[in-house]
Amino acid sequence: MTVIVVANPKGGVGKSTLSTNLAGYFAAAGEWVALADLDRQQSARAWLELRPDTLPKIEAWAVDPDSPAKPPKGLERAVIDTPAGLHGNRLNLALGLADKVIVPLQPSMFDILATQEFLERLAKEKAVRKGAIQVGVVGMRVDARTRSAEQLHRFVEGLNLPVLGFLRDTQNYVQLAAHGLTLWDVAKSRVDKDLEQWQPIVDWVDAKA
């Protein structure tokens, strides 16, 4: 089983958007996937309850720091959505389960500064330094051709972490989430531009460590 943790202690950066769509990608590919939610608000679980039964199934995996449940036997992929303010036991639990960590980050100086300490901690983790956990950053709500994107690249490269890609600011994510859907659940022509932006991200996720 491969576990991908989506984490950033800052709120409102797009963690649930990344988590749900990543789970949707695995499900559409025919893999047995579960979505876990470490946030007390359980927004990812609420999204799962909206998901139509006719679509490729995404399991719910209850990951409670006090009494974590084992994942379903034979599970191929798991995606863990994490809360704002991630630290302490919840962060340790997430890193203990992770094979890969994706950090969504908006390219404003305020967001970068708020996330800097977290990224520096990840870069110093023994498992990350030894390659047991891979870490990548995704620029959220940004045009890859802008100065903001260049600024994000420079910051992340200074930490020796890769920028996996940039996802544009579009209502597609909002509209799909409201119905429990992902980019992979609708006609490709409707989300073609977004799927193109996701390609380097899913390539990195699918690559063997």
Report pLDDT digits (tens) over 128-157: 888 899 999 998 987 777 777 777 777 777
Write the CB contacts of 86 (distance below 8 Å, at least 6 apart in sequence): 7, 8, 9, 38, 94, 118
Cβ–Cβ under 8 Å, residues 35 and 180: no
Q: What is the DSSP string of 107-134?
A: -SHHHHHHHHHHHHHHHH-HHHHTTSSE
Instruction: Name the β-bridge partners of 104.
Output: 138
* pLDDT at position 125: 85
- Give the position of tokens 């490729």: 56
**pTM value?**
0.91
* Rounded Cα–Cα distance for residues 122 and 95 (Å): 9
Tell me how many degrees the CA angle 178-195-110 measures, rounded to the nearest 5.
Answer: 70
* pLDDT at position 69: 61
For 8-12, 61-65, 99-103, 205-209, which range has the lowest pLDDT when averaged over its residues? 61-65
On the CB side of 184, CA atoms within 13 Å amount to 19
* Rounded Cα–Cα distance for residues 180 and 20 (Å): 9
* pLDDT at position 90: 79
CATH level 3 topology of 2-201: Rossmann fold (3.40.50)
Write the CB contacts of 32 (distance below 8 Å, at least 6 apart in sequence): 59, 72, 74, 75, 76, 77
Q: Please give the structure tokens belonging to residue 119.
A: 């990224």
Rounded to the nearest 10 degrees, how much is the dihedral formed by the CA atoms of 90, 92, 93, 96?
A: 160
Q: Please give the structure tokens belonging to residue 179.
A: 């119905």
* Rounded Cα–Cα distance for residues 136 and 161 (Å): 6
Residue 42, pLDDT above cutoff 90: no
Q: What is the mean pLDDT of the chain?
A: 87
Give Cα separations from 83 to 6, 44, 64, 131, 142 (angstroms).
9, 10, 13, 25, 22
Most confident of the ranges 24-28, 63-67, 73-77: 24-28
